[in-house]
Structure 1
């Protein structure tokens, strides 16, 4: 897809990958960029920088997403590109973590993409053109040892992106899924954690890779190309891959102790 002249919505756009995507959409010539975030003040700062529109939006609420889309249509007429990027990390841990945290992760990393697709995909189908990007994580293809809710719900994000591509890919809706490892954002520790093994990228580097994949209309966006090799190794010998992840988990627990 050629971004020039299109209208793009970016959730989680006030910082990190989202801010990088918003800036890159503007640099690519989008005629409208909507920066959506729970932190309206920071969203306004990014929007002011790029000549975009800031909208307060909590993606864990379907009503907020519907309002975001309505405001975008009112201002720009339509939504050509929806970058469903907002995410949360929560706390480290596994099965002991409370249901409220798991539920929040499901809403932000799962249902937010479903609600967004409900709001924008029908109009994309009607026009015969549109782009929907889901920000998952390398944790969606692989996993992550530090936090079970994050790894599990990012798998769900990837699965929904796959389904959306399967269901609507021949009806004019392009769908991609962003699966980076560590990116320099507020969510990532200084050393990158287990995801930092292949280095920590800047949001600008990630946004550049997203645009390159959108031009080619491919599915996976892998700013860290090593992820493809790990994913292949996982498929070829699942038990060996699990053994390696067990070692990584043991190391994480030892460091935490």
Structure 2
């Protein structure tokens, strides 16, 4: 018996990183998963590996209403229902706030914030129609604090927490629990800025994180599983930080 037997879950940004690991773990726990992404080749490859009975890939630009409508329709056609959503898709750009071009700021708002809103709006009615379920939004460690160099990203991740809390209140009557995960430094492309040696970043995280290592996407997937399964049946509207202790503070030793 898996923790998600019989469930149908849509996962965005599922072609790689945290989303890929969530799809793999959820499928292993009995769910049928819909992998949404704009990275078509790797997304299809993951879905093919998981098997046609267990997974399907759909092209999903989370900033486009039409793509969300098509993804919902494809999911219902293939699996008949939707029980859960993981709003995982996101982007980050590194820049000082006063040097951030408006276009760059707006692109992060569109993907990280608007994409999350559109996902909730498109999928929540389907989850209610299926008898209830869960939504897990991906915020960030920076959604709980501030960080120089990622001002636009930080703003969007604070917004995701606001959306999570409001959605939890409004959707509870429909049997939907809504929570957020707040990852710190996780070993994915997002935590390794372009042009910077990954080994340098990994060493940096070791000095900043109390557990002295970068996190793994499989660890984030395990938290997403907890929040999607009945193990968290009385939890809604909450942020869950998974950062190796980074938010706890700094050590002088």
CA distance in 2, matches of 1:44, 1:193: 33
Q: Between 221-230 and 195-204, report the one with greater CA deviation.
A: 221-230
> What is the CA-CA distance between 1:192 and the residue it aligns to?
5.0
Say if 2:15 is the partner of 1:14: yes
CA distance in 2, matches of 1:84, 1:170: 21
> What is the CA-CA distance between 1:177 and the residue it aligns to?
0.2
TM-score (norm 2): 0.84
- In 1, are the aligned partners of 2:184 and 2:244 still within 8 Å (CA)? no
Structure 1 residues without counterparts, runs of 5 or longer = 231-243, 245-257
Determine the structure 1 residue equivalent to 2:68. 65
Question: Post-superposition, which runs of at least 4 consecutive aligned residues in structure 1 deviate over 2 A?
Answer: 90-93, 123-128, 192-197, 212-215, 217-230
Say if 2:237 is the partner of 1:222: no
Say if 2:212 is the partner of 1:211: no
1:2-53 per-position Cα deviation (integer Å, ceiling 9, x unaligned): 41111111100001100011101101111x2111111100101111121211
- In 2, are the aligned partners of 1:12 and 1:85 still within 8 Å (CA)? yes
1:178-209 per-position Cα deviation (integer Å, ceiling 9, x unaligned): 10101111111232597662231111111112
Structure 2 residues without counterparts, runs of 5 or longer = 193-197
Flag the 1:212–1:228 CA change in 2: closer, same or farther, 3 A.
farther
- In 2, are the aligned partners of 1:37 and 1:56 still within 8 Å (CA)? yes
Query: How big is the alpha-carbon RMSD for the aligned residues of Structure 1 and Structure 2?
Result: 2.1
Q: What does residue range 14-163 of structure 1 map to in structure 2 within 5 Å? A: 14-30=15-31, 32-51=32-51, 52-163=55-166
CA distance in 2, matches of 1:2, 1:129: 16
Secondary structure, in 3 states, of the residue corresponding to 2:98? coil
Give the structure with the higher percent helix.
1
Determine the structure 2 residue equivalent to 1:201. 215
